[in-house]
């Protein structure tokens, strides 16, 4: 077995910090983790401040402290949060900013960073933050640590080390490739930049990238583990197995293995640490099939990208109604291929307003529905994954405010949004009012 494909596990029953330290010490014994510059960059999974969707601040703090205790000169914590949000706000509300202040780590809000265009392959060029481009340029001298959370994902089956790097893409590129091309793009991005270490926060196994609080008891279970190693693919394969999935069930892992980007054969991965329980329970990756009776979802019969329009829209409906207690009474249309008389059918059912998601649906039925219902009653979310427009539309349809979705006062949230924009944030945002 290749030592670089060793995967280490540690229980957190005696604390997160000793578990993190044990794994990093084991990895460091093979060859030093810290490189010549003594700078460390940590990529967290901090897509949002909603509970259970981000890497634990406790795991982050233990990782930062480990490196400062082992002669790191500077430790940076970086992320570009999900479309419709700004990282500065997420860090302030989920505890990352507090951890950075307590440990002397420096936060890097990647949405406020300048962009650099890079080529992933012969066909795809994308914008990444300048910080990321510099890490790639200085790979021999800087340490890059990937810190994902153990979660399934409604579009990509799992979101672990390789998927965590999708946050390096600009928002415009994320919504462009958040369709049926996402898996090869993830692998191309992994070919562009690979972590030195990947540590999975497996203190809990989470179903879905942004689990609903209303269904929390069904979607979150305790594991009390940290899992890590040098080979991100090997670590992801073990993480996928903890969630109940084989590599063949996760397209981006299988593709990375086929391209020799790491070890994907579990039998050739040496697991060091406590015995892990594989397959005892599969963590659901599809969304909970529960929707309000007064919300009508209409899918096109010819085309519908699950990874883009469908999943993000359905999650938004559930979240607005079940978690934030918004009102129903609207329709959501997505995809391509709709029967004649759609407007009349919707009116017969009693609907008077709704959302059309995705350019395919907008092009096919947008003008007809706006004529039938009135332009002010039809909301549009363009592209394949324009979460900002979907959220903006959904809060209006449900009678909510964008600020209802944030665990902070309107004044504080507005201050953080404005601060991010004043610092050059390129995030695509939901309309605040």
Q: Which residue, among 251, 238, 274, 399, has the nearest Cα to 19 in the 3D structure?
A: 274
Q: What is the DSSP letter of 13?
A: T
Range of the domain at 383: 295-400
Q: Please tell me the distance from the alpha carbon of residue 388 to that of residue 175, in angstroms, as a whole number.
A: 10
Q: Are residues 257 and 358 in the same domain?
A: no
Based on the domain organization, do 266 and 372 belong to the same domain? no
The three-class DSSP label of residue 8 is: strand
Q: Which helix (H) or strand (E) holds 77?
A: strand 74-79
Is the distance from CB of 81 to CB of 47 less than 8 angstroms?
Answer: yes
47 with 167, same domain?
yes
Rounded Cα distance, 250 and 231, in Å: 17
Among 272, 306, 329, which residue terminates a domain?
272
Query: Do both 42 and 152 map to the same domain?
Result: yes
Q: Please give the pLDDT value at position 1.
A: 61
Same domain, 366 and 265: no
The dihedral sign for the CA sequence 215, 218, 224, 226: negative
Whether residue 283 is contained in a domain is answered as no
Per-residue pLDDT of the chain (433 residues; tens, 9 = 90+): 677 789 999 999 999 999 999 999 999 998 999 999 999 999 999 989 999 999 999 999 999 999 999 999 999 999 999 888 899 999 999 999 999 999 999 999 999 999 999 999 888 999 999 999 999 999 999 999 999 999 999 999 999 999 999 999 999 999 888 888 999 999 999 999 999 999 999 999 999 998 999 999 999 999 999 999 999 999 999 999 999 999 999 999 999 999 999 999 999 999 999 988 776 678 999 888 899 999 999 999 998 888 888 888 999 999 999 999 999 999 999 999 999 999 999 999 999 999 999 999 999 999 999 999 999 999 999 988 788 899 999 999 999 998 888 888 888 988 888 999 999 999 988 776 6
| Pairing outcome for strands 106-109 and 378-381 | unpaired
Helix, strand and coil content of the chain, in percent to the nearest 5, comes to 45, 20, 35
Q: What pLDDT is recorded for position 140?
A: 97
CA distance linking residue 176 with residue 182, whole number of Å: 9
| pLDDT score recorded for residue 114 | 96
Of 176, 324, 159, 322, the C-alpha closest to 250 is 159
Look at residues 262, 271, 278, 282 and name the one whose alpha carbon lies nearest to residue 9.
271
* Predicted pLDDT of residue 344: 96
Give kind and range of the element (H or E) at residue 199.
Answer: strand 197-206
Whether residues 361 and 253 fall in one domain: no
Indicate whether 249 belongs to any domain. yes
Instruction: Supply 353's token pair.
Output: 């307003």
Both structure tokens of 166: 């999708």
Q: Domain of 60: which CATH number?
A: 3.40.50.11440
**Number of domains present in the structure of the chain:** 2
Whole-angstrom distance, CA of residue 276 vs CA of residue 413: 41
Q: Is residue 323 part of a domain?
A: yes
Quick one: 251 and 313 in the same domain? no
Do 99 and 61 form a contact (C-beta atoms < 8 A)? yes
Tell me: do 90 and 56 sit in the same domain. Answer: yes
Alpha helices (runs of H) in 364-430, residue ranges in sequence order: 367-373, 387-397, 410-422
Residue 24 lies in a domain: yes
Q: What is the rounded CA–CA span in Å between residue 350 and residue 333?
A: 16
């Amino acid at each position: 077995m290749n030592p670089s494909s060793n995967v280490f596990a540690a229980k957190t029953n005696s604390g997160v910090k000793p578990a993190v330290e044990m794994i990093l010490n084991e990895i460091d014994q093979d060859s030093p983790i810290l490189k010549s510059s003594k700078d460390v960059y940590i990529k967290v999974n901090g897509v949002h401040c909603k509970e259970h969707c981000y890497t634990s601040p406790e795991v982050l703090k233990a990782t930062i402290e480990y490196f400062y205790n082992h002669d790191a000169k500077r430790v940076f914590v970086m992320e570009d949060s999900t479309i419709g949000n700004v990282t500065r706000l997420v860090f302030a509300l989920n505890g990352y900013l507090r951890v950075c202040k307590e440990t002397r780590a420096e936060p890097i809000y990647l949405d406020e960073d300048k962009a650099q265009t890079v080529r992933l392959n012969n066909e795809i060029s994308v914008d990444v933050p300048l910080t990321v481009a510099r890490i790639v340029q200085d790979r021999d001298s800087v340490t890059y640590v990937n810190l994902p959370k153990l979660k399934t994902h409604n579009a990509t089956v799992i979101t672990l080390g390789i998927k965590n790097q999708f946050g390096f893409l600009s928002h415009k590129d994320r919504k462009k490739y958040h369709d049926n091309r996402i898996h090869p793009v993830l692998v191309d991005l992994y070919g562009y930049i690979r972590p030195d270490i990947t540590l999975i926060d497996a203190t809990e196994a989470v179903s879905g990238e942004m689990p609903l609080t209303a269904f929390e008891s069904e979607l979150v279970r305790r594991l009390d583990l940290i899992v890590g190693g040098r080979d991100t693919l090997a670590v992801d394969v073990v993480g996928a197995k903890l969630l109940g999935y084989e590599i063949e069930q996760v397209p981006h892992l299988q593709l990375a293995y086929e391209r020799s980007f790491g070890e994907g054969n579990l039998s050739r991965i040496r697991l060091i640490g406590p015995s892990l329980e594989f397959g005892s329970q599969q963590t659901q990756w599809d969304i909970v099939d529960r929707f309000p009776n007064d919300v009508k979802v209409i899918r096109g019969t010819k085309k519908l990208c699950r990874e883009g329009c469908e999943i993000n829209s359905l999650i938004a409906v559930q979240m607005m109604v079940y978690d934030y207690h918004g009102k129903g009474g609207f329709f959501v249309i997505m995809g391509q291929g709709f029967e004649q008389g759609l407007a009349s059918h919707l009116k017969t059912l009693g609907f008077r307003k709704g959302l059309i998601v995705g350019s395919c649906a907008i092009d096919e039925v947008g003008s007809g529905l706006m004529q039938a219902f009135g332009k002010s009653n039809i909301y549009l979310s363009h592209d394949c994954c324009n979460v900002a427009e979907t959220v903006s539309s959904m809060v209006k349809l449900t009678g909510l405010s964008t600020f209802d979705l944030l665990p902070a006062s309107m004044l504080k949230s507005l201050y953080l949004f404005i601060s991010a924009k004043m610092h050059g944030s390129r995030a695509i945002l939901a309309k605040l009012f």
